[in-house]
Amino acid sequence: MSGGEYLALAYGVVFAFVLVYVAIIAAKLVRLQRDVADLVELARRRERTPPPSREVTRA
Amino acid sequence: MPAVLRLPNLAVLAAALLGLALVLALVVAPEDADQGISQRIFYIHVPIALTSYLCFGLGAWKALLLLWKGDERYDLESYVAIHQGTIFGSLTLITGAIWAKASWGVWWTWDSNQLVLFLTLFLFYCAYFMLRFALEGGPRRARSSAVYALFGVALIPVSFLAIRLAEDFIHPTTFTRDGPQMSGSMFATFCVAWAAVTLLAYVLYRVELLGKRLNDDIRELREALQ
């Protein structure tokens, strides 16, 4: 390999690492977005379900 | 928080600085008379190595704050900084190996104290994750990880000064007491590259921290809703 090829390899490795890191962060972001959507659905379901009625006992 | 310190602005600044550093390193900086074109690896290898030291140092500082103040948020900050340090440490080893092959004809040499000490530091912090994930989450894990991170930071000055202490002739010494042993334009390129890599590391640190905190908040919210 020539000096230029080693240079390209070194810079290419760094670029690939950053790219992979950004891809991992993007994947995590998608998962977080899905989790938030699940939570919104859960909160809406709770809102729709009426709270259990309290029975008032009279003496 | 000032506008310039907001994460998207910092990310744009890091990208711009990286672009400038690339142009300076690959086009503007003069070619080294000794090593030729492969010397340009210096502009990425050394800033990455210094940034990994900074990340390990930051991780140890956060660990010290955790032990001192007892605030558990420092545990996550220390963990993320050390994680960044190992990423940049791997890159240091890889770019260093490529440069070594281009300059010395070998990928690695055990004769250089600085290389061996950097590898020791890197493996020490890799073991940090083994310790961390072997323990149950909670204050005990936070304290144990913090103590381990603090022990590791002692290796940084040793690693940094090893070449000067041992008079290592294989690994070149560029920064001596007489200043940097390079031309002004080479030094300016190095400074821009170092600023760019450090800022990139800081942006990645903030992004990872943000993601992990968000994850914790979502888990807490899920527990509250179920």
Least confident of A38-42, B38-42, B157-161: B157-161
Q: Give the structural domain span for A2.
A: 1-46
**Chain B residues whose C-beta sits inside 8 Å of any chain A C-beta:** 22, 26, 35-38, 40-41, 44-45, 48, 87, 90-91, 94-95, 98-99, 101-102, 200, 204, 207-208, 211, 214-215, 218, 221-222, 225-226
Look at residue A57 and tell me if it is in a domain.
no
Look at residue A55 and tell me if it is in a domain.
no
Q: Give the structural domain span for B171.
A: 43-219
Look at residue A15 and tell me if it is in a domain.
yes
Look at residue B14 and tell me if it is in a domain.
no
Q: Over the stretch B93-130, which tens digit does the pLDDT of each residue have?
A: 999 999 999 888 888 888 777 788 889 889 999 999 99
Q: B221 to chain A: which residues are within 8 Å by CB?
A: 39
Q: Over the stretch B134-153, which tens digit does the pLDDT of each residue have?
A: 988 888 999 999 999 998 88
B206: tokens are: 């903030």
Overall number of domains in chain A? 1
If one counts every other C-beta atom within 10 angstroms of the C-beta of residue B59, the result is 29
> Can you name the residues that pair with B180 across neighbouring β-strands?
B175
Look at residue A14 and tell me if it is in a domain.
yes
Give the residue among B158, B205, B163, B215 at the shortest CA–CA distance from B58.
B205
| Residue the block writes with tokens 């560029």 | B174
Q: What is the pLDDT of residue B16?
A: 94
Look at residue B29 and tell me if it is in a domain.
no
- Interhelix angle B42-69/B73-103, nearest 10 degrees: 160
Q: What is the pLDDT of residue B87?
A: 94
- Please tell me which residue of chain B has the smallest CA distance to A28: B211
Q: What is the pLDDT of residue A57?
A: 60
- Burial of residue B212 (CB within 10 Å: 0-12, 13-18, 19+) is middle
Look at residue B143 and tell me if it is in a domain.
yes
Give the residue among A5, A20, A13, A3 at the shortest CA–CA distance from B94.
A13
Look at residue A51 and tell me if it is in a domain.
no
**Chain A residues whose C-beta sits inside 8 Å of any chain B C-beta:** 1, 3-4, 6-7, 9-11, 13-14, 17-18, 21, 25, 28-29, 32, 35-36, 38-39, 42-43, 46
Q: Is the pLDDT of residue B168 over 60?
A: no
B176 or B90, which is more confident: B90
Look at residue B21 and tell me if it is in a domain.
no
B127 or A49, which is more confident: B127
- B23-35: b (≥16 Cβ within 10 Å) or e: ebbbeebeeeeeb
Look at residue A52 and tell me if it is in a domain.
no
Q: What is the pLDDT of residue B221?
A: 87
- Note whether B203 and A22 are within 8 A (CB): no
Please report, as a single letter, which amino acid is at residue A17: F
Mean pLDDT over residues B32-46, rounded? Answer: 87
Mean pLDDT of chain B, nearest integer: 87
Look at residue A11 and tell me if it is in a domain.
yes
ipTM: 0.82
Look at residue B4 and tell me if it is in a domain.
no
Compute the distance between CA of residue B38 and CA of residue A4 in angstroms, rounded to an integer.
6
The shortest CB-CB distance from B211 to any of A3, A25, A42 is to A25
Give the residue among B174, B199, B190, B224 at the shortest CA–CA distance from B88.
B199
Look at residue A54 and tell me if it is in a domain.
no
Structure pTM?
A: 0.85
Look at residue B186 and tell me if it is in a domain.
yes
Compute the distance between CA of residue B55 and CA of residue B204 in angstroms, rounded to an integer.
11
Overall number of domains in chain B? 1
Compute the distance between CA of residue B51 and CA of residue B54 in angstroms, rounded to an integer.
5
